């Protein structure tokens, strides 16, 4: 009985020390959990290329076997930190059935890691060809209308290939059969055959010629 009493007294006397030790250990553990991870030494945390390809061309095919999209460049570099691809002298061409041909060239481009967007920069030139001839019995597109060829020149252009869309917040010059327009900011929808200008719009446009 006395021996048990002495053990209880010792535990009671040491309890503040045990409590403080436990708190110190808990604090150390929590601190270790919230510390940022140590940087890896394999280069994955830096924006350095892990491989490159020169003078390449990649293509996507429609169900009928025809080329629907093609992407070519003088050089392509892959970056493992964000899975992006940087291109030198890129050219993308969309030739999907039922849509006007759409082509973009530039000095450089970056393909996002998701592969959903391509950002072109430097001497960007985008050309949407005229719409395909209307089917027999369908209304024809008026000369100089939205079915004509359109050329866009700018220093930056983002293209969403799967959506057939392109946009830029930068100054642009748009040229078609009716004239030339300068503006700041643009949205191009290849499917809807529409072109939306944001601000600073100015230029010269000739009225549509009457259909013959």
Domains for the chain: give ranges and CATH numbers.
Answer: 51-133+142-165 (2.60.450.10)
Q: What is the pLDDT of residues 100-157, one digit of tens each?
A: 888 889 999 998 888 788 899 999 998 888 865 544 444 444 333 445 788 889 999 9
- Separation of alpha carbons 24 and 47, rounded Å: 40
Is residue 168 within 8 Å of residue 185, measured between CB atoms?
A: yes
Q: What is the pLDDT of residues 128-142, one digit of tens each?
A: 888 655 444 444 443
At residue 121, the pLDDT reads 96
Residue with tokens 């999907």: 96
Look up the pTM and report it.
Answer: 0.65
Mean pLDDT of the residues in the chain: 75
Residue % of the chain over a pLDDT of 90:
21
Is residue 98 within 8 Å of residue 85, measured between CB atoms?
A: no
DSSP assignment of 38-82: PPPSSSTTS---SEEEEEEEEEEE-TTS-EEEEEEEEEEEEETTT
């Amino acid at each position: 009985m006395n021996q048990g009493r002495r053990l209880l007294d010792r535990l009671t006397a040491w309890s503040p020390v045990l409590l403080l030790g436990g708190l110190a250990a808990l604090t150390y553990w929590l601190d270790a959990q919230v510390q940022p991870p140590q940087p890896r030494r394999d280069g994955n945390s830096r924006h350095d290329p892990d491989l490159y390809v020169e003078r390449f061309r990649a293509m996507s095919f429609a169900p009928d076997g025809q080329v629907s999209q093609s992407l070519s460049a003088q050089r392509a570099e892959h970056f493992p930190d964000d899975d992006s691809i940087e291109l030198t002298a890129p050219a993308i061409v969309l030739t999907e059935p039922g849509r006007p041909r759409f082509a973009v060239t530039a000095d450089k481009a970056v393909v996002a890691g998701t592969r959903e967007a391509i950002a072109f920069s430097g001497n960007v030139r985008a050309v949407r060809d005229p719409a395909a001839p209307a089917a027999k019995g369908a209304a024809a597109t008026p000369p100089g209308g939205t079915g004509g060829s359109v050329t866009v020149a700018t220093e930056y252009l983002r293209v969403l290939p799967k959506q057939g869309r392109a946009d830029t917040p930068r100054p642009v010059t748009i040229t078609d059969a009716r004239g030339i327009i300068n503006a700041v900011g643009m949205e191009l929808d290849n499917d809807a055959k529409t072109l939306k200008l944001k601000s600073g719009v100015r230029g010269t446009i000739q009225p549509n010629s009457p259909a013959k």
